[in-house]
Amino acid sequence: MNIVENCPLCKSSELATYAMKYSAGFPHLSRTICKKCNLVFANPMATNEELNHFYANYYEKGNFEALEYKNKTTQLFNDIDGSSKEHLIQFDSNVAKYAQQGTFLDIGFGLGFQLYLANKCGANEIHGTELDADAIQFVQQHLGNAQIFHGELSAAAYPENYFDTINLCHVIEHVIDPVDYMHEVYRITKKGGVLILSTPNIHALPYKIFRTLNLLTHKVPLIVDGLEHTVIFNKSNLRLLAEQVGFKVLRQYSESVNDSFKNIFNSNLSFKKKVVRYVQTKLKINQVLVLTK
């Protein structure tokens, strides 16, 4: 782990303590907030090697395992196959809108739901990057025509100005250097191309309430957004990041977690985690930026 002395976004050295929670097996224990841009980030911060070790077999751990994400995703694939093209918007409106042709890249595609959807929508080329070899094997069983790279985005060395549509879904919060990462995303995006960027919103109402309750009861504020997250944005500094590297904002909005009461109830989550998950499906804790180059 490394102590971070400057904000990963604005490089300010004006930092303050924000939250902490010890949990064995997770790469981050505490959070710092930048007084200038309000970015919240892990400090000390895990190294790339430590993060890569943690993300091995990521979807066989924690909530993903308890929610049986692989079975859920397989069912989503079947639902996509059974839907007409005009009804694909129900699965992901942005992917359905922008991935109807051209080159599509899903960075950190996980179990490949949006990769699979883009293929069904009609994208000419389907590309994806992922760190988790187990997730790659899962996707290759269902999507044989996808061109998949196992490793970091920068190591893939994609051509400049290549992709018409890039999907960066709940990935940016996991990277160590978000500015450098977004520069690479910008480089490989085609002029006039679209980037769909989604991540948690640290200023979402549930997070604010939970933090306030901790402070009112004289408790050390706990990490509530995911112990593996490295940088956590609000709407303003996420927009700052995108515009700083050259993207133009087409749309920014909030959204909730996409899950069903039945799936949560039948999962192996603890009762407390089921309640939290249900709240996340009702209140908008995530944010989406649709950008163009």
CATH number of the domain enclosing 132: 3.40.50.150
Would you state the structure tokens that stand for residue 57, as one six-digit string? 């077999």
Residue 28 resides in a domain: no
Judged by average pLDDT, the poorest of 103-107, 233-237, 267-271 is: 267-271
The confidence band for 260, taking pLDDT boundaries of 50, 70 and 90, is low
Between the alpha carbon of residue 225 and those of residues 47, 215, 279, the distances in Å are: 20, 17, 13
Q: What angle do CA 236, 238, 242 make, to 5 degrees?
A: 115
Residue 208 resides in a domain: no
CA distance 182 to 186: 6
Residue 143 resides in a domain: yes
Other Cβ atoms within 10 Å of 282 Cβ, number? 11
Each residue of 152-172: b (16+ CB within 10 Å) or e? bbeebebeeebbbbbbbbebb
DSSP assignment letter at 41: E
Give the range of the structural domain holding residue 65, as residue numbers without chain letter: 57-201+234-292
Residues shown for the chain = 293
Write out the H or E segment, with its range, that includes residue 271. Answer: helix 271-282
CB 2 within 8 A of CB 29: no
Q: What is the pLDDT of residues 177-199, one digit of tens each?
A: 999 999 999 999 999 999 999 99
E-state strands within the chain: 15-20, 30-34, 40-42, 103-107, 125-130, 147-150, 163-169, 189-200, 231-232, 248-255, 286-292
CA distance 35 to 20: 17
Residue 27 resides in a domain: no
pLDDT over threshold 70, residue 247: yes
The number of distinct structural domains making up the chain is 1
The confidence band for 114, taking pLDDT boundaries of 50, 70 and 90, is very high
Q: What angle do CA 288, 7, 287 make, to 5 degrees?
A: 10
Q: What is the pLDDT of residues 266-283, one digit of tens each?
A: 666 566 666 666 566 667
